[in-house]
Amino acid sequence: MPVTVRRAFREQRFPNSERFPVETSSDTGEQAFAFAKACGIIGKSFVGKRASALGKLNSLNELDRLIFPEVSRKLPERELLVALEKHIEKRAIDQILSIINSYTNPPDLFIRQIRLYEYSDLKACIHHIAGGIDTVPSLCDIGRYSTINFEAFPDIAAMLKGTEFDFILSRDLKALQPDSEDFTPIETELDARYYFGLAKSLDQLSGEDRVIVQRILADEISLRNCVWALRLRTYFKKSAADTGEHLMNIKLHGDPERDLAAEALGSLYLPLDSRAQWKGWKWEKFLNAEKSGESWSLNPRHFQNAASQYLYRLAWRYFHNAPAAMSAIFCFIKIKQFEEDLLTSIAEGLGMGMNSADIFRLLEVPS
């Protein structure tokens, strides 16, 4: 999906037993209320038919007025871009939290989803520490669901004490080279832990809910592995053997036979300059097309954007096909995070002088 550094800020700290209850329950009334509220939010979001309103913009001010008509910001363009990105993130987080907090005991699946921001924040902090930057990255608030003490930055030991991330303490972060493949092992491990947590939370689901969430999650993990493989081979010139070491080997309990790294492993020996030889690969349809008179080379960004669109369409379909189900809320969160990435990408493109129609084409978004 479009690459965005997501942010989160620690509001309040609770004991782990309060933060992640082992048993979760949601009565029919809570579930119905959460779904009705989610429908109201989706109806005002820039997804589905309403996304077309984003395809006719030429400036950051137009985007700002469209998303936040109640606010009048008169800022230079560079400052407006920073402010707009922060408000877009906060808008998504607040809307997701409003749904999660509709539950007396929020399902762990939804807590894991909102903690995606915490994982991304930690990556940003690691890059700052490795680069010798003592100022904390810009952070947003996921409330009581945060586990990292970001206030202790740049003391990584104090930040991560008692969390699932203490494996990072064995790494010499200041020895890492900024903007290099040195970060790949840590980021791969963080991604694997995030998705493993999501996969584990499926144990609390049953019936159709589990089938739907597992379908989306399985494809997402497979595609995420493929994106990693294509980026490592293309941008860092990694060998097939080296690339294979950085793939997530995650099994879903309901489908233990499916190897979610198989598609990525199957791509490792396919040439990056001959599209014909990718014929028959499972995710071939997401590769950039050949152009007459031009030599073809694989474009990882095109693949990532096309894969993001596919996952968005899956979430959109199941949100509407399974009303008032827990899986619908899972899909709601996916849709809102997709919208956030889309809005942020459009803001970044407008800030570079592009118009939103061109940005839509770049992101593979139908206009």
Per residue in 33-87, pLDDT (tens digit) is 999 999 999 999 999 999 999 999 999 999 999 999 998 888 888 899 999 999 9
Per-residue pLDDT reduced to its tens digit, 210-261 = 999 999 999 999 999 999 999 999 999 999 999 999 999 888 876 777 899 9
Question: What span, in angstroms and rounded, lies between the C-alpha atoms of 301 and 303?
Answer: 5
**What are the distances in angstroms from CA 145 to CA 197, 205, 249?**
14, 20, 26
In the chain, where are the structural domains located? 9-16+26-362
User: For tokens 């036979």, what's the residue?
Assistant: 257
Task: Report the candidate in 348, 362, 363 with the shortest Cα–Cα distance to residue 63.
Answer: 348
The answer to whether 347 touches 60, Cβ cutoff 8 Å, is yes
The predicted model scores a pTM of: 0.89
pLDDT at 198: 95
Per-residue pLDDT reduced to its tens digit, 318-365 = 999 988 889 999 999 999 999 999 999 999 999 999 999 999 988 878
Question: What span, in angstroms and rounded, lies between the C-alpha atoms of 52 and 215?
Answer: 28
Question: What span, in angstroms and rounded, lies between the C-alpha atoms of 132 and 174?
Answer: 7
Q: Where are the alpha helices (DSSP H) in 74-206?
A: 77-100, 108-114, 116-130, 156-160, 184-201
